[in-house]
Amino acid sequence: MTAAHGGPDVAEREAIRSAALWYARLASGAGGEAEHRAWQRWHDADPLHRQAWQRIEAVREQFARVPGQLAMPTLQGRDRSRRQVLGGLLLLASAGALGSIGWRSGAGQRLFADYRTAIGERRQFTLADGSQLMLNTNSAVDARFDAHQRLLHLRAGELLVTTAADPLGRPFRVETPHGRIRALGTRFTVRRAEGFSEVAVLEKAVEVSVSATAAPVRLEAGQRLRFSAGVSDRPRANDASVVAWETGSLIAIDRPLGELLAELARYRTGWLRCDPRVAGLKVSGAFPLDDTDRALAALESAFALTVERRTAYWVMVSPRG
């Protein structure tokens, strides 16, 4: 049922708002089994809920395919399908959903970053100076290039950058809340996580600054460093897993299953957890990131595990039997 002016009525708006709230909670991966069961009850309780959920999914999928730096001009254009996307987003906003989806969680900020990727997506970009930027899953970057600097601000996720020579001699830096990396004609990755960041150098060198008073730490090719604000660990050697995501693989070498699943969870929407009884199981192998269900099936087959799916958004890996 719709209102006389053609827009959604109060019940539909409330259903859309609730669907957006549920989507934000499930996509964050922070909820537990009880929350996913509550979502299922909400979803099944009313046809309006099911329709609202389908609309949220459709808008998300369409909007995620638009490159971040082109999103706003594209949505303002004349293409009908993209105008429909904009209409859907405005509908969500009118229901209060975009606000609920969460500036507090960072999702709203990622939506309007200069460069971004959706969950499970990897994407290559060419920057204004010719440098090559690749973003890993669920990542967001802002770029500030002017007469004096080339600066990337990593809002979320992980990047791989191959810097180009600059005729103006401007330094190339990547910053996170935990420090700043200066490229020395190089190729390197930076990952921002909860409470720390990590840089891995693939070619040449970088300098990492974690405070205004501490001397920068120089890393050479083959080294990586984890750091937080004012503190850095000792440099360590890279391994095969550092940049395997570039080609769509997750490589594990005697890695605890709990850690492996936490990494795999970055590439899928919803909640993926490991039963504590098998969290310490050591796993080795290469797993596809573009098909996480196939990766889970490989784990289930090779390591005598059971993959339990309550919904598409709730998966538990447990010992078989």
Strand order from edge to edge, sheet including 271-274? 271-274, 314-319, 305-311
Per-residue confidence (pLDDT) for residue 109, from 0 to 100: 58
Tokens matching residue 269:
């929407």
With H, G, I as helix, E, B as strand and everything else as coil, classify residue 236.
strand
Containing 201, the helix (H) or strand (E) segment is: strand 196-209
What is the pLDDT at residue 112?
A: 72
CA distance linking residue 7 with residue 24, whole number of Å: 24
Q: Splitting the chain (321 residues) into consecutive groups of 10 residues, what average pLDDT does each group show? A: 49 79 67 76 86 71 48 42 43 44 50 86 95 96 95 96 95 96 96 95 96 91 94 92 93 94 93 94 94 94 91 89 76
In this structure, is the dihedral angle defined by the CA atoms of residues 53, 55, 56 and 60, taken in order, positive or negative?
positive
Distance CA 234, CA 228 (A): 12
pLDDT of residue 61: 55
Each residue's pLDDT tens digit, 218-274:
999 999 999 998 899 999 999 888 999 999 999 998 999 999 999 999 999 888 999
Tell me the one-letter amino acid at 96.
G
Burial per residue of 125-152, b for 16 or more beta-carbon CB atoms within 10 angstroms, e otherwise: bebebebebbbbbbbbbbbebeeeebbb
C-beta of residue 294 within 8 angstroms of C-beta of residue 276: no
CA 224 to CA 296: how far, in whole Å?
Answer: 29
Q: Answer whether 66's CB lies under 8 Å from 74's CB.
A: yes
Distances, alpha carbon 286 to alpha carbons 153, 175, 245, 261, in Å? 31, 31, 11, 13
Domains, the chain, ranges and CATH? 10-111 (no CATH), 115-237 (2.60.120.1440), 248-319 (3.55.50.30)
For 8-35, write each residue's pLDDT tens digit.
Answer: 567 877 887 788 777 767 765 556 677 7
DSSP 8-state assignment for residue 279 = T
**What is residue 28's predicted lDDT score, i.e. its pLDDT?**
57
Looking at residue 83, what is its pLDDT?
43
* Mean confidence (pLDDT) of the chain: 82
pLDDT of residue 107: 54
How far is residue 55's CA from residue 11's CA, in Å, rounded to a whole number?
A: 15
CA distances from 72 to 58, 64, 67 (A): 18, 12, 9
Separation CA 79–CA 93 (nearest Å):
21
CB burial string 236-245: b at 16+ within 10 A, e below: eebeebbbbb
Q: How far, in Å, CA of 32 to CA of 97, rounded?
A: 22
Exposed, middle or buried by CB within 10 Å (0-12, 13-18, 19+), for 72?
Answer: exposed
Report how far residue 204's alpha carbon sits from residue 106's, in angstroms, rounded to the nearest whole number: 33
Q: Are 205 and 218 in contact (CB under 8 A)?
A: yes
